[in-house]
Amino acid sequence: MSRRRRQFNKQIVRQRGLQAKERRRRRRRVAPPVVATALTLAPLAWMASASPPGVQYSAALFADLQPGAYGGSPGGFTSLGGLLFFSANDGTHGRELWKSDGTASGTGMVTDLRSGGYGSKPSELVVMNGTMYFTADDGTHGVEIWRSDGTSTGTVMLKDINPGAAGNKGFHKVCTAVRFIIDGKNIRDLEIWEMKRNEVLL
């Protein structure tokens, strides 16, 4: 065997050894498998207790927001001031804004923005500069943007963007429309109309 061939074989063996060493190192870095996790997989509020690596995780129901098979359907989770905020339906007030510190006694509705069983349906919960913002319908102003510091008195409408019960997703005070006539394959008498709420376009 030539000297060049022996050197080549040594390089191959050395490279394979390095590859095997890297594989062993990667196997040691793989985290132990998670046996179970609980992150609101059912329409109830659940709590997952964090365990050290290698220890089985556990889960426990800490608040039955709406007793029965239907459940409170919590969703839209965000955190503020060390508390968890979300929307949920307790079967009486409809979907409203809730908060929790992770205990049954510390879980409750922040405020009933819309009285009755329909609920204000808070959504799009976000926190910015220590204040939570979300959209909700109080039954009077339609869907508008609200802000909250996590308390009932500190939860107020930020701005009534579109005054009236339609809210920012309904008809505006003044609407524009395009009117035209389809005559076979031709479009004629094209006009742009402006309408107020109480006007009907004929």
pLDDT of residue 188: 77
pLDDT of residue 89: 92
User: What is the residue extent of each domain of the chain?
Assistant: 1-30, 45-159, 172-202
Select from 20, 54, 18, 21 the least CA-distant residue to 35.
Answer: 54
pLDDT of residue 73: 87
- What own/partner pairs with CB < 8 Å and gap ≥ 24 does 169-176 have? 169/142, 169/143, 170/142, 170/143, 171/197, 173/197
H helix intervals, the chain: 3-29
Segment-wise mean pLDDT, segments of 10 residues, the chain, 202 residues? 64 72 70 42 47 65 80 90 93 93 90 92 91 92 91 91 63 61 72 62 48
Select from 22, 26, 47, 25 the least CA-distant residue to 37.
Answer: 47
Structure-token pair, residue 152: 């009932």
pLDDT of residue 25: 73
**The pairing of beta strand 95-100 with beta strand 83-89:** antiparallel
DSSP track, 158-201: EE-SSTTTTBTTS--SEEEEEEEEEETTEEEEEEEEEEETT---
pLDDT of residue 33: 47
pLDDT of residue 164: 66
Distance of CA 10 to the CA centre of its chain: 58
Burial 47-83 (b: 16+ CB within 10 A, else e): beeeeeeeeeeeeeebbebbeeeebbbbebeeebeee
